Structure 1
Amino acid sequence: MMCPRARRGIRGVTLLELLIVLTLMGIIVAIVLPTFGGGVSTTALKSAAREVAAGLRYARGQAIAQRTEALLVLDVDARTFTLPPDTQLHRLPERLELKLYTAQRDLVSDKVGAIRFFPDGGSTGGRITLAAGERKYDVDVDWLTGRVTILD
């Protein structure tokens, strides 16, 4: 058993000191971490691919239901897409790289193009590639069936 005099000589870290250090470390991490990130997370990239695929599937459904052609228009530079006649812009993450492969007749310019769907469910076909660094997803549209798939 230790005598009271010996206990005074033992030094430790108080709970208050520990909390102060942890708080300071949290503040430093919160400030420094965003400067290293700067890219698009894997989750955000996959979410963007799913959003584009959902837009394509919606356009295909509209073409079949309304028995008319429908399309998804993609602006590669602005990282947006629309589903005419709706003018709402669907925005994709800023640091995302996009590439559009589609039929020549559906290219408006070097940076703007569309994938067209027909009343029978078919399409002009194409591929939209979404990339961030080494990671990428391809959203493919089969020309014969209009089927939309996400490939990683």
Structure 2
Amino acid sequence: MTAPISNDPRAGSTLIEMMAVMVIMAMLASLVGVLLPGTGRGRLKVLTLQTAAMMRRERLAAVLTGTSRQISLDTGARQLIGDSGVIVIPRDVVVDVVGVDEIWSGRQAVVRFEPDGASTGAALKFSWDKVRYEVDVSWYNGRVAVDVR
């Protein structure tokens, strides 16, 4: 037995109703992506770019003020600390620092920028789930570069 077909023009759903349902579904999907725990590729890239920006600010400040500026890593609190601010490193991100082997103010040294623009040089590698970004600081001219690997 087949269902009767209605000739009523008000039966069914309109295109506007279908679009409203799709918009609601898209909003819910975007909320799920934001609320899921973990860093993710996008947040790892943001962390890397924030770190590079902090290093560039510290280098510029060293040149403009004529004083040395430094960035260090508080391994317990998982924070990069510079005179221009603090960057918190998520728990699921692995950080590898290649640079000077010193302790500054009880924190692991990362890089120091000198008034002439030079630096001690450093490489910070941030990795999460087979994704790795690297911030390199040239010891010669203090240039800060971001590498994606």
Give the TM-score of the pair, scaled to structure 1.
0.70
* Correspondence for 2:131: 135
Q: Which is richer in strand? A: 2
Higher helix share: 1
Structure 2 unaligned segments of length 5 or more: list them: 6-11
Q: Distance in 2 between matches of 1:124 and 1:50?
A: 20
Instruction: Specify the structure having the higher radius of gyration (Cα).
Output: 1
CA distance in 2, matches of 1:59, 1:141: 12
Give the conservation status (yes or no) of the 8 Å contact 2:65–2:115: yes
Query: Secondary structure, in 3 states, of the residue corresponding to 1:93?
Result: coil
Structure 1 stretches of 4+ with a deviation exceeding 4 A read: 6-10, 106-109
> Over aligned residues, Cα RMSD in angstroms?
3.3
- What SS class does the counterpart of residue 129 from structure 1 fall into? strand
The AA in structure 1 aligned to 2:97 is L
Alignment partner, residue 116 of structure 2: 120
Q: Give the TM-score, by structure 2 length.
A: 0.71
Alignment length (residue pairs): 134
| CA drift at 1:82 | 1.5
Partner of 1:58: 57
Deviation at 1:135, TM superposition (A): 0.3
- How much has 1:69 moved relative to structure 2? 0.7
Q: How does 1:87-126 map to 2 (within 5 A)?
A: 88-105=85-102, 112-126=108-122
SS in 1 for 2:91: coil
Map of 1:3 onto structure 2: none
The residue number in structure 2 matching 1:49 is: 48
Unpaired runs of 5+ residues, structure 1, are 1-5
Deviations 1:60-98 (A, max 9, x none): 0111011111011122443211113x6x53213332111
Asked if 2 retains the 8 angstrom alpha-carbon contact of 1:68 and 1:119, the reply is yes
